[in-house]
Amino acid sequence: MKQTENFSDLQRQLETMNEVLRTSNKRHYELLESISDGFCAINREWCFTFINNSLENIFKKQRQELLGESLWSVFPIDSHPGIYNSILQAMKELKVVRFQEYTPEFNKYLQFSAYPSKDGLSIFAQDVTEQVRMIEALIESEERFHMLANNICEIFWIASPDMGEWYYVSPATKHILGLLSEEFEEKFPEFWQRIYPDDLQKVKDAYEQMKERETIVEFRYQQPNQPMQWIRGKGQPVFKEGTLEVVVGITEDISKIIEREELLSRSEKLSTVGQLAAGIAHEIRNPLTSIKGFLQIIQADRSVPPTYTSIMLDELDRIESIVNEFLFLAKPQQEITFEVQPLRPILEQVIGLMQGEANLKGIEIIVELTDLALLKVRGNANHLKQVFVNIIKNAMEAIQAKGKIKIVGQVNKEKSILTVLIMDDGPGITQERLKKLGEPFYSTKEKGTGLGLMITRKLLEDHGGELLFDSEIGKGTVVYVKLPFIE
Ligand code: ADP
Ligand code: MG
């Protein structure tokens, strides 16, 4: 009796254990079914013994079709050597292997983890396509950003809220500010030092204000051994949930724009002067002739001290030369004809004309015009002569005694522009004064009119040309006459 009791006890116990096992298996099974990762078990013959829901979805096949089939029917060894080698390793060396593979048949990136068991392998396959694509997109957008940053000619920057730290400064900073973006933070004091002193406070205030609202500031910036630049800085705060997160901005070189504006206002000045000249010059010249005539008669009269009359005559000469240059400006347009003609003979004629005076002063004129050959320009010969006379005269006056003037012709075939350089080894012109050249009545000479270069510039502009200067104190001046030529 006791024994039967024991036996049925055992049976009951066994049943409960079976039940527990069944539920546990069921739970395992349910668990594996419910996970979003693909899961399968394969035996030592590489055949599927279990496949969960998610893997069915990834493989796009029902488990009935796959169970009993070989893993290599899904991933042919030839086309998936990576999967083969890793799985083989897990099976042979009985170790956990993790690897990622792109599977073109499913158009997915799968992250595999293979766990060896005594029956074979349990394999998890996680679909990581989205993550991989996201990373790829990130890399691509980063690459795009770098392309943008490297090629855009403005600097863009991101700074900490107190603007004490520069999170990002794009590479254009090298070209614009002469500071490498990598060393921008450490060289930042240099940036402030290079700002033109008169503009410094304005820039400081603007940068302070950028933390509060969009601010634009234009200022002058001087790099060593370079012409003064005009810089425009623009910055604004970026807030996140009400607190200032970063300050962002753009910095650009606007020297060219400013130059153009200056040119515009100068040509406006020019045309006003031209109109004025037309009105006044004739009115002055006629009385001038009679005054001069009578003065010469008076000069013969011993009762007037000759120094007085000679001063008066000198002054009158000066007035006359101003009026003549004015008249030149004011000449009615219909008189001027433009013809297509070679430039070189014009230049040679002018140089011949000036040679005598140069010899007297001990100035050597060196001429290199071979490059110009027979290049033709469309222009008025007299006006072009006037241009070169004015410039060479200035060069001779600058040298004063003994020196060299070099006149060189250069050709830019691509742009169809020729340049005549008139170089002297005179005293040179300061940067400040260089900017004033060509403004009416700007002269440093006792007897100068300060109209020569203004007229020269206007004449050249009428010819579609340009007048440029370069000068170094103590070394001399280069004047560039640029003219379009006709093939
Ligand atoms: P002007 O010759 O009557 O003074 P310009 O318009 O021809 O008037 O020249 C203006 C000024 O530019 C000159 O007074 C001089 O100071 C300066 N300048 C022009 N050319 C030169 C040069 N080659 N070297 C130095 N200074 C020059
Ligand atoms: Mg002059």
Q: What is the pLDDT of residues 74-123, one digit of tens each?
A: 999 999 999 999 999 999 999 999 999 999 999 999 999 999 988 899 99
Side-chain half-sphere of 362: how many Cα atoms within 13 Å? 5
**Tokens of residue 463, six digits:** 């010819």
Supply the CATH number for residue 456's domain.
3.30.565.10
- Domain shared by 372 and 472, yes or no: yes
- Domain shared by 364 and 471, yes or no: yes
In a domain, 101, yes or no: yes
Which of 18-27, 78-87, 135-144 tops mean pLDDT?
78-87
* pLDDT beyond 80 at 466: yes
User: Which is more confident, 81 or 292?
Assistant: 81
Q: State the ligand closest to the CA atom of 444.
A: 1
Task: In whole angstroms, give the CA distance from residue 221 to residue 196.
Answer: 6
Domain boundary pick from 253, 273, 306: 253
In a domain, 145, yes or no: no
Q: What is the pLDDT of residues 187-209, one digit of tens each?
A: 889 999 999 999 999 999 999 99
Pick from 389, 345, 391: which is nearest to 369 by CA?
Answer: 345
- Domain shared by 116 and 40, yes or no: yes
CA 396 to chain centre: 40
* pLDDT beyond 70 at 417: yes
- Domain shared by 350 and 474, yes or no: yes
The residue whose C-alpha atom lies closest to atom 21 belonging to ligand 1 is 394
* CB of 403 sitting under 6 A from ligand 1: no
In a domain, 136, yes or no: no
Which residue is it, tokens 């045309």? 271
Domain boundary pick from 331, 352, 377: 331
In a domain, 61, yes or no: yes
* pLDDT beyond 50 at 418: yes
Q: State the ligand closest to the CA atom of 445.
A: 1
Q: How many A from CA of 457 to the centre of ligand 1?
A: 13
In a domain, 53, yes or no: yes
Q: Which atom of ligand 1 is nearest to the CA of 479?
A: 23
Residues around ion ligand 2, judged by CB within 5 A, are: 394, 452
Q: How many A from CA of 368 to the centre of ligand 1?
A: 23
Task: Please count the other Cβ atoms lying within 10 Å of the Cβ belonging to residue 487.
Answer: 6
One-letter-per-residue 3-state SS of the chain: CHHHHHHHHHHHHHHHHHHHHHHHHHHHHHHHHHCCCEEEEEECCCEEEEECHHHHHHHCCCHHHHCCCEHHHHCCCCCCHHHHHHHHHHHHHCCCEEEEEEECCCCEEEEEEEEECCCEEEEEEEECHHHHHHHHHHHHHHHHHHHHHHHCCCEEEEECCCCCCEEEECCCHHHHHCCCCCCCCCCHHHHHHHECHHHHHHHHHHHHHCCCCCEEEEEEECCCCCCCEEEEEEEEEEEECCEEEEEEEEEEECHHHHHHHHHHHHHHHHHHHHHHHHHHHHHHHHHHHHHHHHHHHHHHCCCCCHHHHHHHHHHHHHHHHHHHHHHHHHCCHHHCCCEEEECHHHHHHHHHHHHHHHHHHCEEEEEECHHHCCCEEEECHHHHHHHHHHHHHHHHHHHCCCEEEEEEEEEECCCCEEEEEEEECCCCCCHHHHCCCCCCCCCCCCCCCCCHHHHHHHHHHHCCCEEEEEEECCCEEEEEEEEECEC
Supply the CATH number for residue 61's domain.
3.30.450.20
**Tokens of residue 393, six digits:** 């005269």
- Domain shared by 437 and 350, yes or no: yes
- Domain shared by 51 and 89, yes or no: yes
Overall residue count recorded for the chain in this entry: 487
* CB of 469 sitting under 6 A from ligand 1: no
Task: Please count the other Cβ atoms lying within 10 Å of the Cβ belonging to residue 24.
Answer: 10
In a domain, 146, yes or no: no
Q: What is the pLDDT of residues 339-380, one digit of tens each?
A: 999 999 999 989 988 888 899 899 999 999 999 989 999 999
* CB of 476 sitting under 6 A from ligand 1: no
Q: How many A from CA of 333 to the centre of ligand 2?
A: 23
- Domain shared by 38 and 73, yes or no: yes
Q: How many A from CA of 394 to the centre of ligand 2?
A: 5
Q: State the ligand closest to the CA atom of 453.
A: 1
Mutate to test the pocket of ligand 1, among 319, 323, 396, 443 (most ligand atoms within 8 A of CB): 443
Q: How many A from CA of 452 to the centre of ligand 2?
A: 4
One-letter-per-residue 3-state SS of 141-165: HHHHHHHHHHHCCCEEEEECCCCCC
Task: In whole angstroms, give the CA distance from residue 113 to residue 95.
Answer: 11
- Domain shared by 119 and 162, yes or no: no
- Measured over the CA atoms of residue 413, residue 414, residue 417 and residue 418, the dihedral's sign is negative
In a domain, 142, yes or no: no
The residue whose C-alpha atom lies closest to atom 3 belonging to ligand 1 is 448
Task: In whole angstroms, give the CA distance from residue 150 to residue 160.
Answer: 22
Q: How many A from CA of 123 to the centre of ligand 1?
A: 89
Task: Please count the other Cβ atoms lying within 10 Å of the Cβ belonging to residue 179.
Answer: 20
* CB of 409 sitting under 6 A from ligand 1: no
Q: Which atom of ligand 1 is nearest to the CA of 448?
A: 3
The residue whose C-alpha atom lies closest to atom 19 belonging to ligand 1 is 394
Q: Which domain holds residue 244?
A: 152-253
Name the band, by pLDDT with cuts 50, 70 and 90, for residue 333: very low
Domain boundary pick from 269, 302, 331: 331
Q: Rounded to 5 degrees, what angle do the CA atoms 186, 192, 198 make?
A: 175
* pLDDT beyond 60 at 332: no
Task: In whole angstroms, give the CA distance from residue 74 to residue 234.
Answer: 59
Q: Is the pTM of this model over 0.85?
A: no
- Domain shared by 12 and 97, yes or no: yes
Please give the mean pLDDT across all residues of the chain.
88
In a domain, 439, yes or no: yes
User: Which is more confident, 437 or 365?
Assistant: 365
* Bridge partner list, 102: 109
Task: In whole angstroms, give the CA distance from residue 379 to residue 370.
Answer: 20
Q: What is the pLDDT of residue 274?
A: 66
* Bridge partner list, 315: none
- Domain shared by 229 and 367, yes or no: no
Q: How many A from CA of 436 to the centre of ligand 2?
A: 14
- Domain shared by 480 and 351, yes or no: yes
* CB of 289 sitting under 6 A from ligand 1: no
* CB of 444 sitting under 6 A from ligand 1: yes
Supply the CATH number for residue 264's domain.
1.10.287
- Measured over the CA atoms of residue 413, residue 415, residue 416 and residue 419, the dihedral's sign is negative
- Domain shared by 357 and 480, yes or no: yes
In total, how many domains does the chain have?
Answer: 4
